[in-house]
Each structure stands twice: as structure tokens, then as C-alpha cells.
Chains A and B, each alone.
Chain A
């Protein structure tokens, strides 16, 4: 049983560009959350998707948007990238009362 998978593993972008990160949840899980983990910090909640709709949102600007597909996979889009968006982006899927995390995508903005 594959766990939560994310792609790509690493990404380097330039300020002002746009990026799309992808996540496939653990088999049987229909709820996906995204977190941003800056260096030396704990993960910060961005938003959560369930039934293809955004259900909860953290304190992130509208430049951060997402989507969930009918197969429960999800995308995180970030527009107009800033240097401060450099971080590890984690996807988590929910099942059995707990959230399972993927390995993350390391985004570097130069």
C-alpha cells in the first residue's frame, strides 16, 4: 500500500513565477491537506480539500490556491512567487483519525 506521494521532489523557481505541486493521498483517503514548512519551523497549515472543495484555510494569501480531483489527488498552486515562499511543502491525507504525511516538495525561489 503506497503512502502519500508528492511530486516533484525538488524545484527551483525565480521570483514572480508560478509553480504547481502535486500530491496523491494514501489509498482510501479522500481528504488532503497542504502545509508549508519553512527552515527551522514547524509545518504551517495552508488549506484542506474534501469532495473537491476547499474546506478549511490557514493564514495564507490568495496567491496560494489548490484543487482536488475526482480521484482525490490534489494540486497546490502558488502564483507570483516570493523569496519567502522557499520552503518544504507537505501534503497530508486523513484517515483513521490521523494525518499521514508525504515526503514533501522542496521549493527554492531565487
Chain B
């Protein structure tokens, strides 16, 4: 069964600091990879996704992620965080079947950005 690991459970950064959140998955087949964000009191929103092609994907709000197949990793990065980035971040994976296969989520990383 596929699984997703997010090793950083709670990250505290000052505004303008750089961010990198780790995500590793365990599955040997072809997968799609996602990062979702959940702002306080809001629903899950898609930050970015990787299906195929360029392993460096850019998402909304200045976020990017790099797929490294050999390391089964899909780490999320942002060069300079803002206070408004305070949220819970979830990495997710599903099988690349061309249809709506189930998403497997990591346990999430709570990011707190201080002024």
C-alpha cells in the first residue's frame, strides 16, 4: 500500500525566511504528486501538482516543488515566506491511472510564520 511521510510536524519561521518541507512516498509505480494547503478555518486548496514532465513544478503564491524520483521525494519550497503562509500543508499521492484514484495524504506540517 502506498504511504506518504512528512517528517516536519511543526515548523516556525520568521517572515522572509526560506521554507522547505519534506515529503517522501513509498510506491514503486507511476504516481501523481500534490501539495495541498489548509489555511485556518478554510478548506483544503491545491498548491501545486506533478503528473509528468519537468520535475520542478511551480504553484500558486510563489510555492514550488521538486520531484526526485530516485529519492521518492517531492519537497515543497518557497524562497521567502509571509505571515499569510501560516497554515497546515499536506503532501498527497495517487496512482497515475488517468482516472480519479484515491489520494493518500501525509500527516501534515503545521507552518507558523512570525512577524
Q: Are A33 and B43 also in contact (CB < 8 A) when A41-B108, A42-B107 are? A: no
Contact with A101, one of B43, B51, B101, B104 (Cβ below 8 angstroms): B43
Which candidate, A14-22, A64-72, A75-83, A90-98, is the interface stretch facing chain B?
A: A90-98
Tier of interface size on chain A: 20 to 34
- A31 and B100 CA atoms in complex are apart in Å by 8
Tier of interface size on chain B: 20 to 34
Closest to B91 in A: A42
B25 within 8 Å of A by Cβ?
Answer: no
Contact with B103, one of A97, A99, A102, A104 (Cβ below 8 angstroms): A99
A43 touches B90 (CB 8 A): yes
Contact with B101, one of A41, A56, A92, A100 (Cβ below 8 angstroms): A56
Q: Are A45 and B44 also in contact (CB < 8 A) when A97-B49, A98-B34 are? A: no
Interface string of B38-56 (1 = CB under 8 A from A): 0000111110010100000
B43 touches A42 (CB 8 A): no
Within 8 A of B (CB), among A31-65: 31, 33, 35, 40-45, 48, 50, 56, 58
Nearest chain B CB to A12's CB is how many angstroms away?
Answer: 19
Nearest chain B CB to A10's CB is how many angstroms away?
Answer: 13
| Chain A residues within 8 Å of B51, by CB | 97
B100 touches A45 (CB 8 A): no
- A58 and B105 CA atoms in complex are apart in Å by 13
Which 6 pairs across A and B sit closest by C-beta, in order of nearness? A42-B105, A94-B100, A101-B44, A45-B102, A103-B43, A31-B100
Q: List 10 A-B contacts (CB under 8 A).
A: A4-B43, A33-B100, A41-B108, A42-B106, A48-B100, A56-B102, A90-B43, A97-B51, A98-B49, A102-B43
- Beyond the given pairs A31-B100, A44-B105, A56-B101, 4 more chain A to chain B contacts, judged by CB atoms under 8 angstroms and listed by A's residue number, are A35-B103, A43-B90, A92-B103, A101-B43
